Amino acid sequence: MKLNPDLIAAEWVAYAQRLGPGGDLHDVRDADRDGPDEPEQLLITLLIRNPAGALEVVAAILKLTDDPWVLSYLGAGPIEDLIHDDPGLLQTIMTFQPADRLAVALRDVSTTGLPREIRTVLDRVAWTGRI
C-alpha cells in the first residue's frame, strides 16, 4: 500500500482538533475515550518504522492547518519524537513551509537530552518565533 501523506495528515488533524480546546475529547481522560485513535497510532507507527514517511505527513499537516493548538500538539508529539530519535532530521524539518506554522510547532519540542547545537536552534525559534 502506498503512503498517502495528505490523507493521513487530514485524519490526524481532525483527530487532534477533537483533543483540543472545544473538541469532544478535550476533557476526556485517555483511558475513558471511546472511538478510534487510528490517526494517532498510524503516525506513531510511521515514526518508528518509516521516519521519511512521517516527515512527509508532518509537512502535509503544516500545509493543512494553522490551528495553534494542533500545531503545538504536532511539535510536542511527532516532531519531537522525530528530532529525539534522529537530531539530524531537524535540518530537514527546518525547510518545511509555511515557516510561521513550523515555528509555532517547534516551540513545543522538548529540548531535554538533545545535543547543544539542536537545543540552540530550537531555543532561538522559541524566543523569536521565526525559523
> pLDDT tens digits for 66-101?
999 999 999 999 999 999 999 999 999 999 999 999
What's the whole-model pTM score?
0.86
- Grid-cell match 510511521, residue found: 46
| CB of 47 closer than 8 Å to CB of 80 | no
Residue 84: per-residue pLDDT: 95
Phi-psi region of 110 (alpha: psi -120 to 50; beta: other; left: phi over 0): beta
Q: What's the Cα-to-Cα distance from 33 to each of 22, 27, 37, 39, 66, rounded to whole Å? A: 16, 10, 9, 14, 26
Residue type, 95: T
The answer on pLDDT for 32 being more than 50 is no
**Helix axes of 51-64 and 38-49: crossing angle, nearest 10 degrees:** 140
